[in-house]
Amino acid sequence: MSDKYKNTDYDHKSVEKKWQEVWNKEGTYRAEISKAINKHYNLFMFPYPSAEGLHAGHAFSSTGSDVYGRYMRMNAKNVFQPMGYDSFGIHPENYALKTGEHPTTMLGRTIKHYENQFRSLGHGYDWSKTVTTSDPDYYRWTQWLFIKMFEKGLAYKKKAEVNFCPSCKTVLADEQVISGLCERCDSEVVKKELEQWFFKITDYAERLLNGLNEIDWSQRVVKAQREWIGKSGGMIIKFKKEDSDGEIEVFTTRPDTLNAVTFLATSRMYEEGSKEKEGKFTGGYAISPLDGRKIPIWDVNYVAPGYGTGIIMGVPAHDERDMEFAKKYQIDIIQKEPDESLWQELEKQKIGRKQTNYHLRDWLVSRQRYWGTPIPMISCPKCGWVSMPEEDLPLVLPTISDYKPEGTGRGPLANHPEYYKTKCPKCGGDAERETDVMDTFVDSSWYFLRYPSVGLNDVPFNGEITKNWLPVDLYFGGAEHSVLHLMYARFVTMVLYDLKLTHFEEPFKKFFAHGLMIKDGAKMSKSRGNVVNPDEYISKYGADTLRLYLMFMGPMDGYPDFRDTGIEAMQRFVFRLWRLFNSKTEENNDPKVDIKMHQTIKKVTEDIEQYHYNTAISAVMEYVNMLYEYKPTRKNLEVLALLLAPFTPHLCEEVWNNILGNKESIHLASWPKYDPKLTQENKTVIIIQINGKVRSQLEVEAKLGQNKEEIEKLASSDPKIEEYLHGKDIQNLIFVPGKIINFVLNA
């Protein structure tokens, strides 16, 4: 063991910088793309570079993904962990408008900063395989994808009433309208009739639904996708009009309630997000097919056009919305029990026909903005819509300065004849390019296919490489993408499968939805002034302390609370680790320590596999306590370094090389194995309280749990507890053997 560390404090700045340079130089995290045996494709959702840099939420979630990737690498997996930038779209464009720069200039700066931050966090990305969606080398293939969609009849243009945000001056997909308001700026969304491009995702509704049974995803995300697809089995029922030969068809999931219908309602007054039910009697009547009753026809605001037939049968007795409406307008209410036999009856008499409906709508992919992938379509007066020849791609987005949206219903490119005036690829006559650009979700719908093939310029993704590396083994990302990005990526993958370009229908075998980090008990926001800038914390405490603290705060899928006092306590723990690694080792110690070591390996292994990083770290802390008490063997320290390597990669690399004297990177070393004979437990859990409030817990040998002094010692060195004790006097200590230890502190 080297002497030079004795009594020296741990200098995170020089250690972290040194190892980041070494990893970069030696390509420690480069995947061997050509050698795909035992592969693990570890993907994290790439960010929008639409601010000066990453925020602490990114640091939290990306560390969660990195820990898993590092763990898999130490388990002999050939890990591929890339990073890139979702750099087109309204988020970066708005940010550029704010800073008064052209998006290209702005992104040149911010992307560099994002990359430096990812590096300074110590993440093990393969930087030789990065994608930037606004780069022509990338978006030429997004355009290629659009053309494939068009050729397959899955891209079409139609006049549609669309959601329009007057403040963002653009069209929004249904998913981007949250109870009538724009998801980005909260302005009230209005309806506009515009010609729009759509992708026919509805053709895939049933497959998108069935595929959910095949994948291992966070259950809340699966549930959100099911609901978004919204399959319902129902019936279309025909009503005759009273005064003409006309017929009205309604869609219902409850034909068994037809005997209690008292009105029909059309969608003619439909409004998005309105709460109060409104309506107007049309003056017309229909005839109930069951008993010939006269049924008034109303126009109402709560029936949506474009779902079912856009007309409903109102059954106040069995439907709450209809009841509310009927009461308000004094429409009859008939109390009759539902009649199951009507399902058969109505079909037999040809009054009704069974129909399956989906809530899923076609994906609106055109945007009247500037900063997006240009749509490679040409409108010819003779030939109609013609796609560009593939060999002419990329269709480069021109650099223009008047890119601010005007809200006229046409994008800024429509002011640039030098861009849109062209010739028809079919007949050679005068024609015009589409001036809308694509929704950013098209860019991100296929980026995971590009990563392993980055550098190949003649194909979007190489067949052999794709066969070897896809699907993604673990996708780590935010639950807010449950229905947009994750649905679109699945859809696009299925289309490519049908085109025989991929061998799988589901792109992400596993998806883990991480939680959201908060600060001092509240959501982070600029107005609250509680936004955590990871750079400051890395500089003050080091990336390892930050990583360890982020992973220790709470469950990865919860709402962990970031507190400055917490990270300070974690820094003291990191120093404690450092002193331990630098202490003298023994050749043999108490057999208890060996048992604890094997139990810790088991616990950390099992916890990491379930992303329970916080409890894995707690187990390591208990082990550290024991090593302080009994003096470690060299083996004990080796195991400690290995178990912590995914969490504190720099410190462990330093220890591995310069204290334990190994030659290769700890991150390429093997994960420790435990001996099952040594891990059988006889344990109790001691609850640790501060002033009667539960603050942490200890898992200890049953016998040890009876010992007041020992438990006091262990409990006070738990960083969560240390944080409370720091600088305070203990007035009283209450100990219930085997159960509770309560520190009573003065105020």
| Residue with smaller CB distance to Zn ion, 215 or 380 | 380
Sites for ligand ANZ among residues 628-687 (CB under 6 A):
none
* Residue 235 interface partner, choices ligand ANZ, Zn ion, none, CB cut-off 5-8 Å depending on type: none
**Using CA atoms, how far apart are residues 247 and 433, in angstroms rounded to an integer?**
43
Q: Which residues contact 725 (CB under 8 A, 6 or more apart)?
A: 690, 716, 743, 745
Of 301-309, 452-460, 497-505, 539-547: span binding ligand ANZ (CB under 6 A): 301-309
* Smallest distance from Zn ion to CB 386, Å: 6
**Using CA atoms, how far apart are residues 619 and 600, in angstroms rounded to an integer?**
6
**Using CA atoms, how far apart are residues 601 and 642, in angstroms rounded to an integer?**
10
Question: In whole angstroms, how far apart are CA 257 and each of 262, 348, 349?
Answer: 11, 17, 17
| Residue with smaller CB distance to ligand ANZ, 313 or 700 | 313
* Residue 426 interface partner, choices ligand ANZ, Zn ion, none, CB cut-off 5-8 Å depending on type: Zn ion
**Using CA atoms, how far apart are residues 17 and 120, in angstroms rounded to an integer?**
8
Structure token pair of residue 292: 């010939």
- 303 near ligand ANZ, rule: CB under 6 A: yes
Structure token pair of residue 239: 């009503």
**Using CA atoms, how far apart are residues 654 and 600, in angstroms rounded to an integer?**
22
* Smallest distance from ligand ANZ to CB 208, Å: 17
Q: What are phi and psi of 729, to 5 degrees?
A: -95, 140
- 253 near ligand ANZ, rule: CB under 6 A: yes
AA letter at 442: V
| Residue with smaller CB distance to ligand ANZ, 310 or 555 | 310
Q: How far is CA 306 from the centre of its chain?
A: 29
- DSSP code, position 141: H
* Smallest distance from Zn ion to CB 425, Å: 8
Nearest Cα residue to 237 out of 250, 246, 227, 222: 250
- Residue with nearest beta carbon to ligand ANZ: 318
Task: List, in sequence order, every residue forming a beta bridge with 197; answer none if it has no partner.
Answer: 157
* Residue 308 interface partner, choices Zn ion, ligand ANZ, none, CB cut-off 5-8 Å depending on type: ligand ANZ
Give the residue, chosen from 127, 156, 307, 385, that forms a contact with ligand ANZ under the rule CB under 6 A. 307
**Using CA atoms, how far apart are residues 322 and 262, in angstroms rounded to an integer?**
10
- 308 near ligand ANZ, rule: CB under 6 A: yes
- 718 near ligand ANZ, rule: CB under 6 A: no
* Smallest distance from ligand ANZ to CB 319, Å: 4
| Residue with smaller CB distance to Zn ion, 151 or 324 | 151
- 289 near ligand ANZ, rule: CB under 6 A: no
* Residue 380 interface partner, choices Zn ion, ligand ANZ, none, CB cut-off 5-8 Å depending on type: Zn ion
- 88 near ligand ANZ, rule: CB under 6 A: no
Residues that bind Zn ion (CB under 5 A): 380, 382-383, 424, 426-427
Sites for ligand ANZ among residues 313-342 (CB under 6 A):
313, 315, 318-319
| Residue with smaller CB distance to ligand ANZ, 253 or 349 | 253
* Residue 318 interface partner, choices ligand ANZ, Zn ion, none, CB cut-off 5-8 Å depending on type: ligand ANZ
Angle (CA) 232-233-237 rounded to 5° is 115
* Residue 383 interface partner, choices Zn ion, ligand ANZ, none, CB cut-off 5-8 Å depending on type: Zn ion
AA letter at 379: S
| Residue with smaller CB distance to ligand ANZ, 127 or 307 | 307
| Residue with smaller CB distance to Zn ion, 11 or 430 | 430
Query: How many of the chain's residues bind ligand ANZ (CB under 6 A)?
Result: 18
Nearest Cα residue to 449 out of 485, 501, 375: 501
**Using CA atoms, how far apart are residues 189 and 644, in angstroms rounded to an integer?**
50
* Smallest distance from ligand ANZ to CB 605, Å: 45
- DSSP code, position 390: G
**Using CA atoms, how far apart are residues 374 and 435, in angstroms rounded to an integer?**
7
- 310 near ligand ANZ, rule: CB under 6 A: yes
* Residue 254 interface partner, choices Zn ion, ligand ANZ, none, CB cut-off 5-8 Å depending on type: ligand ANZ
Nearest Cα residue to 514 out of 541, 546, 474: 474
| Residue with smaller CB distance to ligand ANZ, 232 or 684 | 232
**Using CA atoms, how far apart are residues 368 and 408, in angstroms rounded to an integer?**
9
* Residue 251 interface partner, choices ligand ANZ, Zn ion, none, CB cut-off 5-8 Å depending on type: ligand ANZ
- By CB neighbour count within 10 A (0-12 exposed, 13-18 middle, 19+ buried), where does 509 fall? middle
Give the residue, chosen from 192, 200, 241, 254, that forms a contact with ligand ANZ under the rule CB under 6 A. 254
**Using CA atoms, how far apart are residues 738 and 747, in angstroms rounded to an integer?**
28
Residue 615: its H or E element: helix 613-630
Q: Which residues contact 79 (CB under 8 A, 6 or more apart)?
A: 29, 31, 39, 40, 42, 69, 70, 72, 73, 124
* Residue 130 interface partner, choices Zn ion, ligand ANZ, none, CB cut-off 5-8 Å depending on type: none
- 252 near ligand ANZ, rule: CB under 6 A: yes
Sites for ligand ANZ among residues 209-238 (CB under 6 A):
232
* Residue 180 interface partner, choices Zn ion, ligand ANZ, none, CB cut-off 5-8 Å depending on type: none
* Residue 313 interface partner, choices Zn ion, ligand ANZ, none, CB cut-off 5-8 Å depending on type: ligand ANZ
**Using CA atoms, how far apart are residues 304 and 337, in angstroms rounded to an integer?**
27
- 357 near ligand ANZ, rule: CB under 6 A: yes
* Residue 104 interface partner, choices ligand ANZ, Zn ion, none, CB cut-off 5-8 Å depending on type: none
* Residue 310 interface partner, choices ligand ANZ, Zn ion, none, CB cut-off 5-8 Å depending on type: ligand ANZ
CB atoms within 10 A of CB 374: 26
| Residue with smaller CB distance to ligand ANZ, 251 or 578 | 251
* Smallest distance from Zn ion to CB 178, Å: 42
- The β-bridge relationship of strands 730-736 and 740-745 is antiparallel
Structure token pair of residue 279: 């309506």
Binding site for ligand ANZ (CB under 6 A): 232, 251-254, 257, 267, 303-304, 307-308, 310, 312-313, 315, 318-319, 357
